[in-house]
Structure 1
Amino acid sequence: MELAFTGQVIEWRGPSPYYFVPVPWEESADIHQVASMASYGWGVIPVEARIGAVAFTTSLFPKDGRYLLPLKAAVRMPQGLAAGDEVEIELTVRRQ
């Protein structure tokens, strides 16, 4: 499954800060349809993502009926991304 969407970078405060882009409701519903074939446990969904020129693999986290796309420093820093920035994302759900 391939998706493209725009989202806003959010900061999740905890013991150390994490950054995510919430997947929009419609795309989250589409992902939920294939979640049982893609998840390798705990409800996380393995994906390949691209923001600008940076491609990376990660796992979506379920949160309140939607999914969150984590953004590692190696993804954010080269593009100067910070909380509040709008980003265009290409996402491919990987099946296990």
Structure 2
Amino acid sequence: METWEFEAELWPWKGETDAWIFVTAPPEVTEEIREASIATGPPRGFGSVRVEARIGTTIWRTSVFPGQDGYALPIKKAVRRKEDLQVGDRALVSITLV
């Protein structure tokens, strides 16, 4: 499977400070994921795509969700704690379709 790597800023969903935190894949990565996901079968709920994500040494499985600016990747609280990340920080993110 193909892997994409990008740097992005952590942002809160709907202004919440600690509940749902995301990064957004840049447009070119979003388009490549969209094209590659067609081969994995029909879209999942909300148009999500299953991925394996990595930030630093932390690896987890989740889904990315389509948004106006690109696919949004949720960053779990456990990941943020382990990698010492907060809203507004930039993170180097790696995602692979699963």
Same fold (TM over 0.5): yes
- Residue type of the partner of 2:33? I
Q: Residues 1-96 of structure 1 correspond to what in structure 2 (within 5 A)? A: 1-13=2-14, 17-38=19-40, 39-64=43-68, 66-94=70-98
> Is the Cα–Cα contact under 8 Å of residues 24 and 69 in structure 2 kept in the other structure?
no
Structure 2: runs of 5 or more not aligned: none
> Is the Cα–Cα contact under 8 Å of residues 35 and 43 in structure 1 kept in the other structure?
no
TM-score of the superposition, structure 2-length normalised? Answer: 0.85
Q: CA deviation at 1:41?
A: 3.6
**1:28-47 CA deviation, whole Å, 9 max, x = no partner?**
01011123333334310000
Q: CA deviation at 1:65?
A: 5.2
Structure (1/2) with the larger helix percentage: 2
Structure (1/2) with the larger strand percentage: 1
The CA RMSD over aligned residues, in Å, is: 1.8
Number of residue-to-residue matches in the alignment: 94
Identity among equivalent positions (%) equals: 33
CA–CA distance in structure 1, aligned partners of residues 85 and 69 of structure 2: 25
> Is the Cα–Cα contact under 8 Å of residues 47 and 58 in structure 1 kept in the other structure?
yes
Runs of 4+ off more than 4 Å? none
Structure 1: runs of 5 or more not aligned: none
